[in-house]
Structure 1
Amino acid sequence: MIAGRNICSWLLKGKHGIGALLCCVFLFNSCVIDSDKKILFFAHSLPTTHPVHKGIVAMKESVEKKSNGKLVVKIFPDGQLGTEREVLELLQIGSIAMTKVSAASMSNFAPAYQVTSIPYLFRDREHLFKVLEGEVGKELLESSSAYLLRGLCFYDAGARSFYAKKKPVKTPQDLDGMKIRTMNDEMSVNMVNTLGGSATPMAYGELYTALQQNVVDGAENNIPSFVTSNHYEVCKYYTFDEHTMVPDVVVIGTKFWNTLSTQEQQWLQDAANESVIKQKQYWQETVAENMEVLKKANVEFLYPDKTKFSAKASGVMEKMMQDEKMKTVIEKILAQ
């Protein structure tokens, strides 16, 4: 059903040593399933304490209940099977079934997703989900099917803001000369460089050490990720500039999707849609809890004049609107 051998080959090519060998044994055994069951391996890079992981668990429980155990989801968190890009590639070749990635990562495979990373495009959380759960969101999810990746739903990933180790970021000018870790996508890099920082793309799992060793001076992310990654132990300045609201995307490889019956596809889609409601709730609860954690850790919160940031970042949107297709989508979003 799912080619465990493909994962093993990829891991061993990466020279991950005995860990890879043990993982191969585990995955190969996991693929020995009953004829009346289909197992969906779901890999992602977040820890189990993260609200997005909790949303995935809610989806798992829902689809297993709806299918009466005919569809079983096995979750591999914490980047066990690779980075977001590596896992998306595994989906494309059919080695695993599903993942959760940032829409920014999806844009490396399906360019239409770039629109979600445009700074200050979304007015607030309500506007974001009005767009994502409407016509534009549906078109985005469907756009990646051409690249063997089918979007099922969007999860709340909050607003991304800057955090720094050595000095607070109060204005865009404070970013001058600062090496800021970004996701490995063109839009994120352009956004940081436009605001005056020096964008430094790197894998999320490498960031804690990079901050400790001064390889980078700061990063940008949402509050739950700032806490679950323990980056607040190193960075004591968090600036609520909220430059982007990049959602997460639940994705299934089309190679696996096409092995499902129409009924099984409906069970999975319905479970994904239902999990969105719970995930949003988990997100809000987690943010409130995390703010208390950060206060106790003496993290300094800064609430800058966002208009200074949005004005300096406006060139990113203007450049994107030079593409007629992208311009049409942006205008649809702004009109909502």
Structure 2
Amino acid sequence: MQNKIIPPLCFVVLLFTGALFSSGCSESNGVTTLSMAHSLDTKHPVHLAMKQLSESLEKNSGGTLRLEIYPSGQLGSEREVIELLQIGSLAMTKVSASSLEAFVPSMQVFSLPYLFKDNRHFWQVLNSDLGKELLEAGTPYRIRGLGYYDAGSRSFYATNAAIHSPADLAGQKIRVMNSQSAVNMVRAMGGSATPVSWGELYTALQQGVVDGAENNPPSFYLSKHYEVAKFYTLDEHTAIPDVVVISERVWQGLNAQQQQWLADAMAASTQYQRALWQSATEEALDAVRLAGVKIIQPDKKLFQDSVKNYLSQQTSLSPLIERIQQLDSAEENHHE
């Protein structure tokens, strides 16, 4: 009896718009389909990794468990899809850890600037027990993390003038995600943080609603923001992972075998996405250079110094920060 595939419990929710949206999972003719939404372009390496996730899941399950993906913000902003996920109207989504912090407070730690020493340290943390704990921290809020995708390092870009140091951020309206941590960081550096949804950002840059923004190279390129923002400063202030999450209600509706199929597919997708991300970053930087974007390699220490006071004030996150730093120290001692 334990090996029998039991269709997951599904939910139908009447949206505030009055339209009837199908539940996050559905079952038909012995096939269970999970719905997944995200805000990125279909050429983005994260979307391509989700397609691979879907293919792996179907292969693992012999076609009995499938994933239906809704890209490009079709079902709303990151905050909106998280809310759909909480009530089981959506099964899965990919969101930035910064978007999750409004729902899962411990995720705020990823938004702290210059938290990781390098990419090795970054993945050491994500693959550690601490990384797993953070994925599970959302279960009381009906959100379960399945795994991390690489979202590279975020850097500033601007429409009017190059940003060489934090002093150049003074008086500049910089778009940030709907994240209090991101707002606080830009303010600490001297800029005026302005939350704007991703889908509205191109127009906001074009019309001067904001003077700049911050994001990783593939997103800067694929969003075509380089068409209106010709200065890109690789200060690499944060390395905020993307997190693949599933509705806890939907997860609990899956049986143990289905959960394992999904976990295995997620693990394979993570490795696939990491390789994609590296090449996509290099291609993006080459492409924006050819399009006339000036790429600035600043003195990062100036940016690091500008947030020291801000970091010292994050007392509630101190235990997590210490654990992250200890992981790097332990690795260094291991190699000595």
Give the TM-score, by structure 2 length.
Answer: 0.92
Match of 2:265, SS?
A: helix
Aligned length, in residue pairs = 319
Structure 1 residue 35: Cα displacement: 4.2
Partner SS, residue 59 of structure 2:
helix
* Partner SS for 1:157: coil
More helix by share: 1
Q: Which runs of 5+ in 2 are unaligned?
A: 1-8, 329-336
2:228 counterpart of 1:222? no
Q: For residues 152 and 33 of structure 1, what CA distance do their matches in structure 2 show?
A: 22
| 1:200 is aligned to 2:191 | no
> Are residue 213 (structure 1) and residue 207 (structure 2) matched?
yes
- Please name the residue that 2:131 is paired with: 137
Q: Does 1:260 align with 2:254?
A: yes
The answer for the alignment partner of 2:321 in structure 1 is: 330
Cα separation, 2, equivalents of 1:319 and 1:153:
29
Given that 1:118 and 1:316 are in contact with CA atoms closer than 8 Å, whether structure 2 keeps it comes out as no
- The SS at the match of 2:307 is helix
Select 2:273's aligned residue among 273, 279, 288. Answer: 279
Cα distance in 2, alignment partners of residues 214 and 105 from structure 1: 24
Q: What is the rounded CA distance, in whole Å, between the counterparts of 1:314 and 1:267 in structure 2?
A: 44
- Return the TM-score normalized by structure 1: 0.92
Amino acid at match of 1:248: D
> How far, CA to CA, are the matches of 2:32 and 2:309 in structure 1?
48
Residue number in structure 1 paired with 2:15: 9
**Which amino acid counterpart does residue 38 of structure 1 have in structure 2?**
T
Question: What 5-or-longer segments of structure 1 have no aligned partner?
Answer: 14-20
Q: What RMSD, in angstroms, separates the aligned Cα atoms of the two structures?
A: 1.5
Range with greater deviation from structure 2 (106-115 or 281-290): 281-290
1:252, 1:162 → 2: CA distance?
31
Identity, % of aligned positions: 49
In 2, distance between residues paired with 1:47 and 1:28? 23
**Distance in 1 of aligned mates of 2:159 and 2:301:** 24
Q: State the secondary structure of the residue aligned to 1:258.
A: helix
The one-letter code matched in structure 1 to 2:323 is K
The one-character-per-residue Cα deviations of 1:25-61 (angstroms, maximum 9, x if unpaired) are: xx65997641411110000000110011111111111
Classify 1:312/1:71 alpha carbon distance in 2 versus 1 (closer, same or farther; 3 Å). Answer: same
Residue 67 of structure 1 aligns with an amino acid whose one-letter code is S
Residue aligning to 1:17: none
- Which residue number corresponds to residue 181 of structure 2? 187
Q: Is the 8 A contact 1:119 1:316 kept in 2?
A: no
Is the Cα–Cα contact under 8 Å of residues 96 and 242 in structure 2 kept in the other structure?
Answer: yes
